[in-house]
Chain A
Amino acid sequence: MQLVIASGKGGVGKSTVTASLLYLLKDEYRFVAVDADADAPNLDLLLGVERWEEERELIGAKVARINTESCIRCGICQERCPYDCIKVIDGNYVVSELTCEGCNVCGLVCPVPGTISLAEVRSGLVRKTMTRYGFPLISAQLDVGRPNSGKLVTEEKEWAKKLMDELGLEHMIVDSAAGIGCQVIASIGGADLTILVAEPTPASLSDVQRAYRVVQHFRQPAYLIINKANLNPGFTELEEWATDEDIPILGEIPYDRAVPESMSMLKPVVEVFPDSKVAEAMREIAERVKEEVIK
């Protein structure tokens, strides 16, 4: 089955929870892990990956380019660009390649044939390795300023599916990006269920509610893990919301300095600080995941 970890808000602990969960599931299940945060891929760091066995370039992003030789400076392209990506620099019309979406509207409206063309550029890398924990990891790295990171995630998941066939793996566990945009939609689309991670703050609640609406959009079941649960005593809205929506709460993890310390050691916190309160909570959550979530 395909299982996604999402949160809406960044920095609530998606990747640290995922890394520990992968560690606790590795002996009983055969799975591939996918880091679907192509903007800021971090799961490899938490799993101590030192090198990639295979890297593939993804050429797929398109950006418009204007030939200043034949350009007549009519300004129609700038007027019609839906995203305001065309600037005049030193009297020349120039497409900002770091914001262009590659729609080619400028090329279509340009009155001088051959002046504006779409160029294919690299959108990033998709990479694979075997972790020291015995399961493979697929990760991607978007080149800075490129669009379509959702396509990178789709590419990652396709590679992961092939690996599942080749290695006879049963599950795919996807650590999604922050937000609710294309990368998250590419992560959640096609999955069987989503585990949401949130902390007890108004910002995290607001963002996880938005992520949950994306999950609902795909008609999937959702589960909730409350991270940094002791951060804000008295904030009960998160639990109340989960109860109202019938989202099972898999567990609560306290805030603990063991987490940033384990990060610095490039290992899951459950491995390096097995006696910490965080590790204890993670083990309980892993047990519930085994009993109730993975089928």
Chain B
Amino acid sequence: MQIAVSGGKGGTGKSTVAINLAIVLKDYFDLTLADLDVEAPNDHLLLGVELSNEEPVELFMPRFDYEKCTRCRKCAEVCEEHAIITMRDGTPFLMPNLCSGCAACEIICPVPGAILPGKKLMGHTYLSETPYGFPLVTGRLLEGEERAMPIVSRAKKRAQSLGKKLLMVDTAAGTSNTVSKALEDSELIIAVAEPTPLGIHDGELILRLAELMNIPAVVVINRADLGNVGKVHEIAKKYGAEVIAEIPYSENIIRSYVDGKPIVLTNYPEAKLFREIASKVSEFLGGGK
């Protein structure tokens, strides 16, 4: 089983909801948390753990054997990213920054051995133990690299390979195809939205993506007292998503956030809110142990 925490807009509290939810849900399900916000992964900081068990994510990158290359230009023609340019005589050159690592050039090349498999480091995945009884898998894109997709894809696979009953993914902001890759195979999307015009606008985008992907969604309104909550309810209703919680702006949540101490484990009154969210999600998933 898989569920996802997403939100459209950045900074709405996705990671805060994800880590607190994971801490409570692990009492119901054997679970893995996957931080698939590979451009800005923060779940480990909120959980107060170091990233460990690093594995590189390397992509194929063509290397040309110019002795064997017949200058047929097929590699350049097939490259959808236009990462291979050819000289007047057909000699190919790679612009590594544009290469997506898809290996289409190697597949099309008619001369065996003319394109050799090189490697390009795109980022890393990590598997960290947390003190809360569940593992955290994190994807992290290398600074200067553009393509988040291979990291999202690899980190998700690593998380899936742990074979736990429940996989909970925390996605990046936005609604691009890397977010849909993270959401894919979820049985439920928990959309964390803010009631500001910006949060409402972006929250609607994530609900639209959920609808397109045919995944049920529920909404958690964060900083509920800083805007027009009615508007969020309206949008949620339009997409058939239940609003399962309203979390007020809270100094206690901020304090727990900056201290790296999950709010759900404190005695602050807000802890109860997160436990309620967890019990609603667990109910949706049919209980657990």
Binding site for B on A (CB under 8 A): 8-12, 15, 37, 39-40, 42, 45-46, 62, 80, 82-84, 96, 98-105, 108-109, 118, 142, 144-147, 149-150, 177-182, 184-185, 200-203, 206-207, 210, 213-214, 217, 231-232, 235, 257, 260, 263-264, 266
Contacts and interface: CB of A to CB of B under 8 A. Distances in A.
B176 A146 contact: yes
A162 to B, nearest CB: 23
Contacts of B150: 82-83
A220 to B, nearest CB: 13
Q: Label chain B's interface by main secondary structure.
A: loop
A11 B10 contact: yes
Given A104-B78, A185-B146, A260-B226, A40 B9 contact: yes
A8 B143 CA distance: 11
Contacts of B226: 257, 260
Given A103-B100, A145-B209, A8 B258 contact: no
B40 A98 contact: no
Given A40-B175, A178-B10, A144 B209 contact: yes
B107 A201 contact: no
Contacts of A144: 175, 180, 205, 208-209, 212
B111 interface: no
A9 B8 contact: no
8 contacts: A11-B10, A98-B212, A101-B100, A142-B176, A150-B146, A181-B148, A200-B258, A217-B143
Interface in B94-109: 100-104, 107-108
Given A98-B177, A263-B227, 6 more contacts: A10-B9, A42-B201, A99-B149, A178-B10, A181-B141, A231-B254
A40 B153 contact: no
A45 B198 contact: yes
Contacts of A62: 80
A207 B173 CA distance: 13
Contacts of A45: 197-198, 201
Contacts of B148: 179, 181-182
A118 B45 CA distance: 41
Contact of A182 (B78, B101, B147): B147
A214 B173 contact: no
Nearest to A207: B40
Interface string B74-103: 000010110000000000000000001111
Contacts of A9: 10-11, 40, 42
B8 to A, nearest CB: 6
A100 B100 CA distance: 13
Main secondary structure of the interface of A (DSSP, over half): loop
B254 A109 contact: no
B97 to A, nearest CB: 9
Given A8-B40, A108-B104, A39 B174 contact: yes
Given A12-B11, A260-B226, A264-B227, A147 B45 contact: no
B209 A179 contact: no
A202 B180 contact: no
Contacts of A147: 149, 176-177
Contacts of B181: 83, 99
Nearest to A12: B11
Given A42-B202, A178-B10, A210-B143, A108 B107 contact: yes
B15 interface: yes
B64 interface: no
A260 B172 contact: no
Contacts of B103: 82, 105
B12 interface: yes
Q: Chain A CB within 10 Å — which of B104, B143, B197 has the most?
A: B143
A109 B212 contact: no
Contact of B228 (A11, A179, A201, A264): A264
